[in-house]
Each structure stands twice: as structure tokens, then as C-alpha cells.
Structure 1
Amino acid sequence: MSQPADKSIKKSAASEWWETIVVVVEALLIAIVLRSFLYQPFSIPTASMQQTLMIGDYFVANKFVWGYGKHSFSLGRYGDFTALDFELPISNRIFGREPNRGDIAVFRPVPQNIEYIKRVVGLPGDTIQVTAGRLYINDVMVEREEVGKAQDTDSSGDTREVTVYRETFPEGTNHIIQEISDNGALDNTSKYVVPAGHYFMMGDNRDRSADSRVLSQVGYVPAVNLIAKAEARFFSITDNIPPWQLWQWPANVRWDRMFQSVDTQHQ
């Protein structure tokens, strides 16, 4: 009588293992679908978007709001992380709306094979120029208001005093930028005319950002190269400390930066 019972127990254990494997596979598939089509997490390794996005911030980006382009399904490379790089054979975006000025975009510059994150400053057909540190859009100087002073530290540990401003775009949206000075290398530029189907990107940390002002490195970004729209921070830790080092959390997690929107503000 004991033999059938033993077989039943073995069968039950095997069934439980199989069910566990199925659940794990289903969870992985759901995560892949969410990451590929809906939302993808990113981290910030450089200072170019400080203070909006600090080194060590983790944020989630919306992949469907602007539709899908050639790099939308790439799990590609961001900072020092390299993963699957899958490029769609398309020349235009499908579905979704156009970005708004002020949106924060994850994108792939044409000369590069890594993801960048910057703010959308110029729309197709716009004329963009920086003169004495002031941004001009279509020959009109963009309003900015000084907020105060701060210390800014880049990824190499270099700390500088910066002036913090609230900048307001013509559409009424505003955001924080910072400048080391108004006479830096990219504070006086020629005029850029944004081609049709392209966008002009700039970092909020204006003197520490390689962006569309550097045509050989970033330049005008084709719409088809947009990947996602940054929406909210969900974690933040100083000095790019890996999040799995839980023992570092008490002294280094920036709790006040977690679960906050990074969208532009409206007046």
C-alpha cells in the first residue's frame, strides 16, 4: 500500500517544481514585455542633467508615449552596462505623439551606440543659439530667474560652485538649470537650424553637458532615434553605489529624491 503513496508524493513534488518554473518563466516574459513595450528603467552615470537627474538616480521612462523607433526594443547600452542591442529596420516612428519642448528624452545619437538623456529644447524647424550663456529659441531669449547657488560634483569627483536658475520655455513650462559661468566652451554658439524630423537636445547642467550643441558627438537627433520619455525617479543613491549593496543604504540613499516626477512644471 505504501508504494502508490510514494509515487504520489514524488509526482506531487515534480508537479510543484514544474509549476514554479512556469511561474518564473511567465514573470520573466511579463518583465520583458513591460521593458520592451511600456516602461524601462535607467540609471544616471554622469552630471549632464543635474539637478533634475543626479548621478546615482534611477528613473523609469515611458516607451509608448512617443511611439516606437529603430532603437525602442533595444535593451542596449547605458553607461557601462551592455546588453542586447536590437535595431528595427524602420526609418520613421510608428504610433505615439510628437515630443513636447521640455520633455526629457532617452535617445540614441546618430554618431553613438549608447543611450543619452537630455531635455528637448528645439523642435523641427526651430532656430537655436546660445549667446553669453543665454538660450535663444527662434531669436527670442528664453526667460530665466536665478534661484541660488549650489555645489555640483561630476562623475570624476570634480566639485564646482554653480548658479541655479529656473528657465521658462515659450510654452510656459519651466525647469531648473545650472551654470558654472556664462562664458564656458558652449556658452557662445552659432545658430542651429533644426532639420525636419529632428530634435535639439540640451542638458540641464549646461556647462557639463555634451549635447546637440556638439554636432560631432550628438547633433540633431532624428525622431526615429528617440527611445523613451523620462517620467519619474524611483531610487537614488550617492556616488553611483550599486543598489544591491544594502549595507550602504542608511548613509547614502537619497530618500527625498525617490518616487518623484521629473516632468516639466507649468506656470
Structure 2
Amino acid sequence: MTSDGSTATQGEAEEDLSFGSKLKRELREWAMTLAFFVPAFMLFTGLFYEQRVIPSESMVPTLQVTDRVAVTKFAYGYDRYSLPFSLGRFIPLPAGRIFARMPKHGDVIVFEHPHTGRVMIKRLIGLPGDTVQMIGEQLYLNGEPVDSELVRKVRYTPHGTNILRTAFEWRETIGDKSWFTYRGNKGDWGDNTDLFVVPDGYVFMMGDNRDNSLDSRFPSGHCPAENGVVDRAGCPLRVPAEEASIGFVPLDHLIGRADTVLMSFYSCKLQDDEKCAKRVWKGL
């Protein structure tokens, strides 16, 4: 009630509050909102899905720079590397993975680089016990050439450059899963490798842009080859960590499976009137 006996409206009551009181109330309401939102966000991104932005050209043409991809966190189970913002590197959690599931050939996987801790995205080619080798640009899995079909020749401008490049687009198939890769001319780096025997507890990863991906094909992140065979992991690096390939990737470093391109701000730069693939809500 006011002094003359009338009832004050809500607006009048608001006006009676000082600036400091209004500020305190707003801060209190924001604090309550954040107290709910932050734990809910951490729980969602830690257990279910998170978004990652593609930073490099290593997965072209499947993924372009600036693509936003949805990562399924529960695809392979959970361990300390599943925590958002790479918190698992700083929190002393026990080793091991709960609700563990094995990935499949051809999965596009987000994981932590074994030597640097950087978050990477590549395609899984080899599972524990598999043999993997590149011979004359052809990928061999367990002694057999992976089914490959030449689709087209494309000219494109890589992100952040004005250099026109030529690539051959191939469709590769393992089992019931197919994907596209870019290859340059034969004889480029990574076209011929040692024979890799994937150790227990590890996987073998490759980028779809074969001439622009420092992946498991390259010796700098591996133990030394013996008689042309690499079948061990965990040796001291022979180069600085930032220069090392990912080598064999431990299964407990897997963060999740990239399933969908949500959106992209990538500008198509294919030449010769070639069409660009749809990049909004696109399954991988």
C-alpha cells in the first residue's frame, strides 16, 4: 500500500529500487541460471554429443575447413578422454573405459593425438590385429587391396590459399561402408609405406586427403621398423612431438564418432563447373 492507501503497481515498485539493488538482483538471477546451465552443458557434452569445428584440410573431400560436426560421445564408451575441454588430461581419473565398444572400419573418429594432446579427426582404417600398407598409392588391408574406384578429376583451391591444385577423387569401400578420398599424382609422400601390424589396444588412422594428412602411415610417430614391419607402440619419439605423426592411436584416446556435418561456412572452390557436395546436415 502507498501512503495514500492505494496499491503500488509492479512498475512503480521496480522504479523504487536503486540501481545497485537492480544490479544485484540481475547478477543473482544470472548466477542461478549459470549454476544450472553449466553442469547441464558439461553433462550433455561429456556423455552424449558435442560439436567440433574442422581446423584443417586433412579430411577433404569428406570434411572441409570450418565444417561443424556432431560427435557421438557414447559410441565407444567413456574414459578420461571423453571429458569436454580435454579436462581428462588434468584430472587424475583411473585408466580404462566403461561401456566400451570397438569402433568399425571406416568410422570417422575424434581422438587425442598420442604425442601432443591435440584433438584430431581421422578415418579408422586398421583395428587391433589388422595389417595395413600402402603400395603404389593403393591401400591394402590384411593383405588385400581395398576396393577403390576412380570417380573424377577435380581442380580446387585449398582453404586459405590461392593455389590451384589437382586431385583425383576415389571411392573406397571396406565392407558396407564407402567414402571419398583425394589423391595426387603417384609417388607423393605416403603412397608407399612399411607394413603396419596394429598392436592390441591400438588403431590405425588415415586422413581422406591422402597427400595432406600426417597420419598413421608416417614413421615419425612410430617405433622403428624391423625388416620393413612396424608392429610395436610406445617407443620414445625420434623427433619433436609437434613434428610426429599420430602413429598407432590407443583405443583409450578415442573421444567419439563424428556422425553428421551440422553446418558449414566453407565456400566452394571447385573449378571447371564441378559441383560441391551438400554440407548441411550431412551424414558421414
TM-score normalized by structure 2?
A: 0.76
Q: 1:90 to 1:182 in 2, by over 3 A?
A: farther
Counterparts of 2:207 and 2:62, CA distance in 1: 10
For residues 26 and 36 of structure 1, what CA distance do their matches in structure 2 show? 16
Do residues 228 (structure 1) and 256 (structure 2) align? yes
Q: 1:181, 1:230 → 2: CA distance?
A: 29
Q: Report the Cα distance in structure 1 between the residues aligned to 2:94 and 2:28, rounded to whole angstroms.
A: 40
Asked whether the 8 Å contact 1:74–1:86 carries over to 2, the reply is no
Partner Cα distance (1:179, 1:255) in 2: 18
Unaligned runs of 5+ in 2: 222-244, 268-275
In structure 1, what is the equivalent of residue 116 of structure 2?
A: 112
1:218 aligns with 2:246: yes
How far has the Cα of 1:24 moved from its partner?
A: 4.1
Q: 1:238 aligns with which of 243, 261, 266?
A: 266
Asked whether the equivalents of residues 75 and 85 of structure 1 are also in contact (C-alpha less than 8 Å), the reply is no
Q: Structure 1 residue aligned with 2:36, among 18, 26, 48? A: 26
Residue identity in the other structure for 1:42 = R
Q: How far did 1:156 drift?
A: 4.9
Q: Does the 8 Å CA contact 2:190/2:211 hold for their aligned counterparts?
A: yes
Separation of aligned partners in 1, 2:277 and 2:142: 40
Query: How far is 1:87 from its partner?
Result: 5.0
Partner of 2:2: 2
Measured in 2, the distance between the counterparts of 1:29 and 1:73 equals: 13
Misfit runs of 4+, over 6 Å: 12-17
CA separation of 1:40 and 1:231: change in aligned 2, threshold 3 A: same
How many percent identity over aligned positions? 32
Q: Is 1:256–2:278 an aligned residue pair?
A: yes
Structure 1 counterpart of 2:250, one-letter code: P
* Superimposed CA distance per residue, residues 132-171 of structure 1 (whole angstroms, 9 cap, x where no aligned partner): 00000011001111110123443452431100011011x2
1:111-152 CA deviation, whole Å, 9 max, x = no partner? 112011000000000000000000000110011111101234
Residue 140 of structure 1 is matched in structure 2 by: 144
Paired position in structure 2 for 1:91: 95
Cα pair distance change 1:102/1:255, threshold 3 Å: closer
Q: TM-score, normalised by structure 1?
A: 0.81
The CA distance in 2 between the partners of 1:184 and 1:146, in whole Å, is 18
- What amino acid sits opposite 2:263 in the alignment? F
SS of 2:39's equivalent in the other structure is: helix
Q: What is the CA-CA distance between 1:100 and the residue it aligns to?
A: 0.6
Mapped contact 2:45–2:84 kept (Cα < 8 A): no
Query: Aligned in 2, Cα 1:173/1:255: closer, same or farther, shift over 3 Å?
Result: closer
Equivalenced residues, count: 241
Q: What aligned pairs does 1:166-181 form with structure 2 within 5 A after superposition?
A: 166-169=171-174, 171-181=175-185
